[in-house]
Amino acid sequence: VILSSLSMLLRVTCMETCFFQSLRVANNTRTALLVGLFRSTIKGGGAAGAGMTNGQRANLMATDADLIGETAWVIWTLALWTWSVASLPAVLYMMWRLLGTAALM
């Protein structure tokens, strides 16, 4: 029981660390994108700033950066589901070793 509890504590700790690190990376990516968009619209070179008002530029930067921030949740959800499906055979095997044929019922 103690070993199982420690194992669960370690798993939850690792998952929380991974989650917060992924949020940190997403925020850093969002900030870098926002800075890049800001610089390109301020310079106005090419099609980046042609015929745009300051309000349109601000809206473009906020919208694009927000979409990158929302993508992090999708990636995190896919990672969790992938891990769940990948670990399912191992869990079933361990249950079968512990419980025998009763695990199949």
- How confident is the model over 17-63, as pLDDT tens digits? 888 887 888 788 778 877 887 777 777 655 555 677 777 777 777 77
pLDDT digits 0-9 by tens, 77-99? 787 788 788 888 888 888 888 88
Using the structure block, give the residue that is written with the tokens 């997403």.
Answer: 26
**Structure-model confidence comparison of residues 69 and 48, the more confident one:** 69
Please give the tally of structural domains in the chain: 1
Q: Full-prediction pTM beyond 0.75?
A: no
Six-digit token string for 73 = 């949740």
pLDDT of residue 49: 57
* Terminal CA-CA length for the chain: 24
| DSSP letters for 39-86 | HHHHH--TTSSTT--HHHHHHHHHHHHHHHHHHHHHHHHHHHHHHHHH
What is the spatial distance between Cα 8 and Cα 31, in angstroms, rounded to a whole number?
Answer: 35
**Average pLDDT along the chain:** 78
The answer to whether 22 and 76 are in contact (CB under 8 A) is yes
Domain holding 34, by residue range, is: 2-104
pLDDT of residue 46: 56
Using the structure block, give the residue that is written with the tokens 């990948």.
Answer: 86
Whether the pLDDT of residue 69 is over 80: the answer is no
